[in-house]
A = this chain, B = another copy of it.
Amino acid sequence: MLRKSLDENIEKLKNEMLLMGSQVEEAIEKSIQSLKEQDVELAKQVMEDDDKIDEYELELEELCTRLIATQQPVAGDLRTIIVISKLATDLERIGDHASNIAKMVINIGDEPLIKPLIDIPRMTDIVTNRLKESLKAFVNLDTELADEIARQDEEVDLLDEQILRELLTFMIEDPKTIRQAMSLIFISRFLERIGDHATNICERVIYMATGDWDVSY
């Protein structure tokens, strides 16, 4: 009876975490949409919505701590709960990065973009897909998927590097582009960090499944 209740509670925790995950994905997508459309109002909304993501983390923390305290899970269940509490922190940080992107969009304002956005939306697609898949790997305890997604981190790093190099040439050629180029470089860097968190999530999934922390990408 107690056993069943623990399973149910862990299921509930996982669902809460997935809900938090969708909010975070939405925040990333909206932040980049606000960049593409130079929609300062949407960017402001992303920043405001970040409070809800922060609250989600606290709520999940509380649920995890209470579950450990009241049901004293062991082995795999305990590991799962601890991992969920860590994933909540990763998701909260990803939310912060989406909010940071929105802040840069507000900095850019309605000044015409110095170049068409190609790599940043591409990077966003890769990063949000990696986040989705990493959470899927978590729910299905799919270590193969986790391993595959973790390895895609390099692609994001290369894109970030490419964006930096390209924008540097703009800055050097025309100092008037410096401020905006800086904002775009920061946005690329925030996306790269979101990618890092997706990698973290994958690593935690592997730990949860194998108890083996010794994985690094």
Chain A positions within 8 Å of B, measured between CB atoms, are: 54, 58, 61-62, 64-65, 68-69, 72, 74-75, 78-79, 82, 85-86, 89, 164, 168, 171-173, 175, 178-179, 182, 185-186, 189, 213-214, 216
What B residues does A61 contact at CB under 8 A?
Answer: 213
Q: How many copies does the complex hold?
A: 2
- Interface SS, A side: helix
What B residues does A65 contact at CB under 8 A?
Answer: 78-79, 82
Chain B nearest Cβ from A174, distance in angstroms: 9
Could you say which of B64, B75, B173 contacts A69, with CB atoms under 8 Å apart? B75
Could you say which of B82, B171, B172, B173 contacts A85, with CB atoms under 8 Å apart? B82
Question: In the complex, which residue of chain B has the Cβ closest to the Cβ of A164?
Answer: B182
What B residues does A58 contact at CB under 8 A?
Answer: 213-214
Chain B nearest Cβ from A29, distance in angstroms: 24
